[in-house]
């Protein structure tokens, strides 16, 4: 038996987490919509235990909240949350990038270019929306990895999970794709040329520009 075989097997809870996360992030489950454990268990053909465990994990990711007498609901969109999440990203990710650039080698840069090529190809396909955020995260994470700050990377991963549905909202509804694509190309060029100040400034502007566009969209949706 291959040593890697057990890795591909997912627990029922993991499968439920991934299905529900995708439905929430894509908007199929609307913000504020009740998540009834019995109905979800029946729809997903599992017992209530993995559903309960999945909802608790999604609560930790900020996608679900539990309220007394109401149960679990998909988290509401929030202008204040957008501001906080994206300002945190701007602070932490620019610091990571500045530390990473001196350590980036040709192999890392080639990997980042590969993710960027995949992302730009996905942007051209309407049915590839679900892969946009994942590839975007992989591209950025590939550049930050060279900073060798594993705990900071965990924080960034958590922030990205919470930002995911907001980023999709922007890309789908606000025409953010051309700007994002150009920013990514320029960012990779600055990294390749070891131009730390230019790369950091571009990354900060890239994140905060997205935040401004998303705040406007969220304000429209919740008004």
Q: pLDDT tens digits for 108-140?
A: 999 999 999 999 898 887 666 667 878 989 999
Q: Residue 1: which pLDDT band, with cuts at 50, 70 and 90?
A: very low
Has domain 5-74 been given CATH number 1.10.10.10?
A: yes
pLDDT at 7: 42
Q: Residue 96: which pLDDT band, with cuts at 50, 70 and 90?
A: very high
Between β-strands 64-67 and 71-74, what pairing exists: parallel, antiparallel or unpaired?
antiparallel
Q: Quote the mean pLDDT of the chain.
A: 87
How far from each other are the two terminal CA atoms of the chain, in whole angstroms? 56
Q: Rounded distance, CA 96 to CA 62, Å?
A: 23
| Whether pLDDT at 104 is above 80 | yes
What's the pTM?
Answer: 0.75
- 3-62 pLDDT per residue, tens: 443 444 578 898 999 899 888 877 788 888 899 999 999 999 999 999 999 999 898 877
Query: Would the CATH topology of 5-74 be identical to that of 79-222?
Result: no
What's the sign of the alpha-carbon dihedral 93, 96, 98, 104? negative
Domain parsing of the chain, residue ranges: 5-74, 79-222
pLDDT at 170: 76
- 141-198 pLDDT per residue, tens: 999 999 999 999 999 999 988 888 788 777 766 566 778 889 999 999 999 999 999 9
- 65-95 pLDDT per residue, tens: 998 878 899 988 889 999 999 999 999 999 9
Topology annotation, domain 79-222: 1.20.120
The CA–CA distances, whole Å, from 51 to 15, 26, 124, 156, 165 equal: 10, 19, 35, 26, 21
């Amino acid at each position: 038996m291959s040593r890697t075989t057990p890795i591909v097997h997912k627990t029922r809870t993991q499968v439920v987490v991934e299905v529900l996360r995708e439905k929430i992030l894509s908007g199929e489950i609307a913000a504020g919509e009740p998540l009834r454990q019995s109905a979800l268990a029946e729809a997903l053909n599992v017992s209530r235990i993995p559903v309960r465990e999945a909802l608790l994990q999604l609560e930790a990711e900020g996608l679900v909240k539990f309220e007394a007498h109401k149960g679990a609901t998909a988290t509401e969109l929030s202008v204040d949350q957008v501001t906080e999440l994206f300002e945190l990203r701007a602070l932490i990710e620019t610091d990571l990038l500045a530390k990473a650039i001196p350590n980036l080698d040709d192999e890392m840069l080639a990997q980042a270019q590969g993710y960027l090529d995949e992302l730009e190809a996905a942007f051209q396909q309407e049915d590839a929306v679900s892969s946009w955020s994942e590839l975007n995260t992989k591209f950025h994470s590939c550049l930050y990895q060279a900073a060798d700050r594993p705990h900071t990377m965990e924080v960034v991963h958590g922030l990205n999970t919470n930002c995911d549905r907001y980023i999709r909202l922007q890309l789908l509804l606000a025409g953010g794709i051309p700007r994002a694509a150009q920013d990514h190309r320029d960012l990779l060029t600055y990294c390749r040329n070891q131009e730390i100040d230019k790369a950091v400034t571009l990354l900060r502007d890239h994140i905060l520009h997205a935040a401004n566009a998303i705040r406007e969209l969220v304000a429209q949706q919740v008004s």
